[in-house]
Chain A
């Protein structure tokens, strides 16, 4: 299950809306071993594409080093789909290289209602998990 504060949930959805029609991507960092997302880290989509995303290589190294220095890990790795459902594609599954992360997919295909779903992807197997958004609604 993914437990995520309302503010972080909303920041992810806002990022996806802002970058639409390109896919948006980023992470939520949290203390290593805590499984608790605390820090919102939007990342550049170096592919700048409506159908593909990749972390910019240099930005990724800098952010990863910062996380190591802070004793943090990537609790959530998120990206958006702009015309398809919020479900990991074959490409998403083939690249999922952080087995402890929650992979969040947001779909902005509907202009009024964003879809926000979370998955574990381990050894090529996708398992959807419930999302609990905590904190006061707006």
Chain B
């Protein structure tokens, strides 16, 4: 069993078109680094230095990780991580 990660359309260029990939790690940070080994460049689209980029929403199971621990959120086998592009904007 691993951690399932659901990838939105716009990031599937990094996964060879795959909608779902699998990875391992004890935290979201470790998981993203782990995924980046096989899907190079994916981590950089989600992480800017030490923080999650504001253009993506990352969920652990049913919750936005911003309310859990962000990159330090603990993850384990059997979890599902979902990545969605943030939908936002404004008049400027």
Bound pair: A and B? yes
Which residues from chain B sit less than 8 Å from chain A, CB to CB?
Answer: 8-10, 55-57, 59, 62-64, 66, 82, 84-92
Q: Taking A57-B64, A61-B57, A61-B82 as contacts, is the C-beta distance between A95 and B91 under 8 angstroms?
A: no
Min CB distance A125 to B, Å, is 14
- B92→A89 contact, CB < 8 A: yes
| Option from B8, B64, B90, B92 in Cβ contact (under 8 Å) with A97 | B8
Number of residues from A at the complex interface, CB < 8 A: 34
Instruction: Give bound CA distance, A51 to B54, whole Å.
Output: 18
The total of Cβ contacts below 8 Å across the A-B interface reads 86
**Residue among B63, B85, B87, B91 making CB contact with A23, cutoff 8 Å:** B91
- For residue A10, CB closer than 8 A to chain B, the reply is no
**Max count, chain A CB within 10 A of own CB: residue among B10, B56, B66, B89:** B89
8 cross-chain pairs, A with B, having the tightest CB-CB distances, nearest first = A97-B85, A92-B89, A54-B88, A52-B90, A57-B64, A55-B87, A91-B90, A51-B91
Whether the pair B55, A94 counts as a contact (CB closer than 8 A) is yes
Q: Beyond A55-B86, A60-B84: 15 further Cβ-contacts under 8 Å?
A: A23-B90, A23-B91, A53-B89, A53-B90, A55-B87, A57-B64, A57-B66, A61-B82, A82-B91, A89-B92, A92-B90, A95-B85, A95-B86, A98-B85, A99-B9
